[in-house]
Amino acid sequence: MKRAALTIWVLNLLMLSAVVGFWFQRLQGSSVPATHGDVPYYIQQIDEQIRTAKMYHGSPTRRWIALTFDDGPHPYHTPILLKTLRQLGVRATFFVVGKNVDRYPELVQQMVREGHEVENHTYHHLRLSQIPLGMVQEEIDAGAAAIWRATGHLPRFVRPPGGMTDHAVRLITRSDGYVMVLWTQDPADYERPDAETLKRRLFGSVRPGSIILLHEKVPVTVKVLPEFVREMRRQGYEFVTIEEMWKDMQRSVLQTARYERDGLPSPFFGGS
């Protein structure tokens, strides 16, 4: 597992080097220093996420939505959620808690079989910014090990419980080769709102590139999913996983770098 983690770390480093090199060349090649006004805001956001390995939304040029479910697996709620997603033909990303993975590995294996993405939500679901740094490393490593034992898959993405992070935690996750994933929309389904309230929160906040934070153990979430998915598809949205969103952003930056290198009109900047 350490060898796989090293491989991921090297790949992330290479990607980071390409991005930094692209922006350096862009600045060096200009007779006037580039300002933020030269670059569309959404490109700045994509670049920032890749450079910092901290993801909070996908490309706003894509009518894509990533549904993410935290805190599972759960022996009662997870099978119902998986059945609903299967009926809807939606693939989601599950940020699972390591201790729950060890208890119910068959549910995590089912997630993988059905085309979902399984990623790291630590082992004990502790608030990482509130514990010693040594424990932060242990929590992340133990969560990854549980997923590895259940699926043979080494997670690439990590979500800190409660979204609670700080500079030291981010350094640890990056040094481990992870991309930290937060969210664009939090409809607060953990508050157990009624169905109408949750629908209002969900429908009112979606935009292209949305990463939506949901939880496996909330029955009302499963209840409103079919209507939400149907409406979003009617509006032209597609449901994708976190990894698909991340790779799409990487391709956008690399494609822009190639256009700039070859002196071609850039599809992102409107010209070279």
**Res. 265: pLDDT tops 70:** no
Q: Which pLDDT does position 43 carry in this prediction?
A: 77
Q: Say if residue 212 is exposed, middle or buried (CB neighbours under 10 Å; 0-12, 13-18, 19+).
A: buried
User: Which band of pLDDT confidence, cut at 50, 70 and 90, is reported for residue 39?
Assistant: low
Q: Which pLDDT does position 42 carry in this prediction?
A: 75
Strands 64-70 and 238-240: parallel
Instruction: Work out the average pLDDT over 126-132.
Output: 97
**Res. 123: pLDDT tops 70:** yes
Closest CA to 143 of 127, 158, 162: 158
How many other CB atoms sit within 10 Å of the CB of residue 188? 14
**Res. 13: pLDDT tops 70:** no
Task: Give me the catalytic one of 70, 71, 141, 176.
Answer: 70
3-state class (DSSP) for residue 272 = coil
**Res. 262: pLDDT tops 60:** no
- Is 124 labeled as catalytic in the residue annotation? no
Instruction: Work out the average pLDDT over 64-73.
Output: 98
Q: Which pLDDT does position 254 carry in this prediction?
A: 80
Q: Say if residue 270 is exposed, middle or buried (CB neighbours under 10 Å; 0-12, 13-18, 19+).
A: exposed
250-259 residues labelled b (16+ CB within 10 A) or e (exposed)? bebbeebbeb
Closest CA to 154 of 178, 173, 128: 178
Does residue 20 or residue 99 have the better pLDDT? 99
Instruction: Work out the average pLDDT over 173-183.
Output: 96
Q: Which pLDDT does position 31 carry in this prediction?
A: 32
User: Which band of pLDDT confidence, cut at 50, 70 and 90, is reported for residue 255?
Assistant: confident
pLDDT digit string, tens, across residues 189-245: 999 999 999 999 999 989 999 999 999 999 999 999 999 999 999 999 999 999 999
Q: What is the average pLDDT value for the chain, to the nearest integer?
A: 86
Task: Give me the catalytic one of 57, 121, 125, 215.
Answer: 215
Q: Which pLDDT does position 15 carry in this prediction?
A: 53
pLDDT digit string, tens, across residues 85-97: 999 999 999 999 9
Instruction: Work out the average pLDDT over 39-51.
Output: 82
Query: pTM score, two decimals?
Result: 0.83
**Res. 30: pLDDT tops 50:** no
- Is 166 labeled as catalytic in the residue annotation? no
